Structure 1
Amino acid sequence: METMVYLHDRCYQILDVGDGDCLIRLIDTQQFSQVMACANEQLQTGERLIYIAVPFWQSGIDITQISIEDSITLAKDLHLLIDIFWLDEVRIDIAPMPKTFANILQGQAEGRFVVEPRTTAA
């Protein structure tokens, strides 16, 4: 299911496919149409993938240079999203986000995120 969700007045494009253990992947806004075309091919049995196009991650911007302020904003938005989707625990693929984002995310999510590196292409 493709949808647009406003989290703290910021618009996120979201693609939610599959059922089972949940993995969230953060992508840039330019990747969204590519992901939509092949998302079902990347599904594994018993897996739910949620792709989130980060609005301030535009093509050509180096997301590894995300500011602390933007990292906190994104972590709060992701925390709200897992509440809206009624998710108790999710794995989140933070590649290529900086390590500081992982630390911020863990602090915001009250132990509900399992942060992991990307194991397959988006």
Structure 2
Amino acid sequence: MTPLIDVVFLLLIFFLVTSRFEKEERELDIDLPDASQSVPLIEQPSEIVVNLDAQGQIVVDGQPRGIDELEGILRQASVNNPLTQTVLIRSDRRAPVGTFINVIDVCKQLGLQYTEATEEQ
């Protein structure tokens, strides 16, 4: 019985040490559209999560932002991480398409890679 407990504790320590604890911005209740096919992210570089709610409000770091504020945040992030900065855009299925396109335009203007979340995980 003692060797089994030792193995369990070693596994527990291993998983605690190798786990990545990251601040996730997936706490907003966003109703993502369904997708027939999705590609998971293989590696997660420096990432900013931009949430668009059903009213078209842009939320970053849990705070509502305007498009100009978002551009400033993304510009600073691209300066800090020019090669690895990415943007994850999570849009509610009822969000206005215009706001979604504005966020994509800002990403393109700054040369940032972006990913759209298309379905719930």
Coarse TM-score class (shorter-chain normalised)? 0.3 to 0.5
Larger strand percent: 1
RCO (CA 8 Å, sep 6+): is it higher in 1 or 2? Answer: 2
Larger Rg: 2
Output the TM-score relative to the length of structure 2. Answer: 0.39
Q: TM-score if structure 1 supplies the norm length?
A: 0.39
